[in-house]
Structure 1
Amino acid sequence: MRTRSVTRGGLAAALAAAVALGVAGCVPAVDEPEPPADSGAANVTKQLDELTVAAAGSMKGYSRTRFPHWRKTGKNCDVRDSVLQKDGESIKLSGCNVVGGSWESVYDGLVLDDPAQVDIDHVVPLANAWRSGANEWDDAKRGDFANDLTRPQLVAVSARSNRAKGDQDPSQWKPANRSYWCRYATDWVTVKHYWRLTVTSAEKAALTDMLEGCK
């Protein structure tokens, strides 16, 4: 199975800058911190230890509309197109709209050749974020989270795997592709650490176990 982790960070940063330009009318984004240079297993384990452990919060008041997405990134295209372009191969564009290409779903290894077959997964699901602290944010911050192209929060996967995952955390659902577990756990921790979201004790235990595969 092909591994995309080597280039995803650079592409994500470039795409995030493009989004900032499109939204802000060519005004560079301000005070956007760079992802940590050390992304090794030791650093991720340290980040996991820094997360607050707490029981999952209530779903009261939750709605996907409280996390506005997908933001526009150009005429007739949006963040979804940006992720399709980042994660795909042999991409075909109509303007900046992705109309063709090939995608290997990292969760289950399925190869998809039609963008309509591809789901864009929030690695940390919106509902999970709500239960772990995002309920206290305003909708603008929740929109930043839902459209985050800088962190490894958005990935193109098969609809089947995305819907099987739902809003479950790693103690409840893991990718069928076990070789992706290290990357999945790393991405999950990276996102939660940056956005200062909590983890449950079961979630932390599952992440710790998955990160063992990174060593």
Structure 2
Amino acid sequence: MGKKTWSSLVAAVLLGAMWLVFESGLFDDNVSSASGPAAEQLEQLQVAPAGSMDGYSRDRFEHWVAQPSAGKNCNTREAVLLRDGSGTRRDNRCEATSGTWTSAYTGEKITDDSDIDIDHMVPLANAWRSGAAAWTDAEREKFANDMTNPQLVAVDSSSNRSKGDQDPSTWKPSAQDRWCEYAGDWIQVKSTYRLTVTDAEKKALGRMLATCG
């Protein structure tokens, strides 16, 4: 075998080996080495393409319903403000009159409740595309007002509006030190409600979990 032929053979073998390594994911930045309960939950989520938006409306998820356990005249928004705020005071309509809130997405301190949005961790439209279209109205109402799971968070209005209905593959909190908690909360909600994730969403969540200490 001539030197030229031998060199070509060696190059082909090396190229093939590199391709196998690439295909296995060792060079893929989408692969996460994250471990722990959230990572285990993530692996158990069903991966599926995003569903249709046909028939979707925010009105299909009745929200900010009455929350008697939070006090007289309280609805879900007001209950979350009271839960997540520090030194919060309210009037007889259950509306916050003072307090300090820390945006879950930026860490920004906010003292005016009008600058705060109560965000659905998994947006209503995203939930619709990942399984909620098949739910009953009562199930969608429960999801939209869930104060047991980390589905409702007080955030700065700017972050909430930039997020819209995006998933973690296209939107993340601007503060990277918030990624770990954000991914864990997103996964918990999707796991609790048996919602699907897209392939890109799952990979992004894995990368965010890798930032956990």
TM, length-normalised to structure 2: 0.80
Give the alignment partner of residue 55 of structure 2, picking from 41, 52, 61. Answer: 61
Largest Rg, 1 or 2: 2
Identity of aligned residues (%): 55
Residue by residue over 1:15-45, the C-alpha shift from the partner in whole angstroms, topping out at 9 and shown as x without a partner, is: xxxxxxxxxxxxxxxxxxxxxxxxx951111
Helix, strand or coil for the counterpart of 1:151?
coil
Helix, strand or coil for the counterpart of 1:100?
strand
Residue 41 to residue 94, structure 1, CA distance change in 2 (3 Å): farther
Kept in 1, the 8 Å contact 2:106–2:178? The answer is no
Q: Distance in 1 between matches of 2:52 and 2:142?
A: 22
The answer for the alignment partner of 2:166 in structure 1 is: 168
Q: For this pair of structures, how many residues does the alignment match?
A: 176
The answer for the alignment partner of 2:88 in structure 1 is: 91
TM, length-normalised to structure 1: 0.79
Q: Distance in 1 between matches of 2:67 and 2:123?
A: 22
The answer for the alignment partner of 1:70 in structure 2 is: 64
The answer for the alignment partner of 1:47 in structure 2 is: 41
Q: 1:56 Cα deviation (Å)?
A: 0.2
The answer for the alignment partner of 1:206 in structure 2 is: 204
> What does 1:1-215 align with in structure 2 at a 5 Å threshold?
42-74=36-68, 75-95=72-92, 96-215=94-213
Gaps of 5+ in 1: 1-39
Residue by residue over 1:92-149, the C-alpha shift from the partner in whole angstroms, topping out at 9 and shown as x without a partner, is: 1113432221111121232211111110000000000000000000111000000010
Gaps of 5+ in 2: 1-33
Give the partner amino acid of 1:148: D
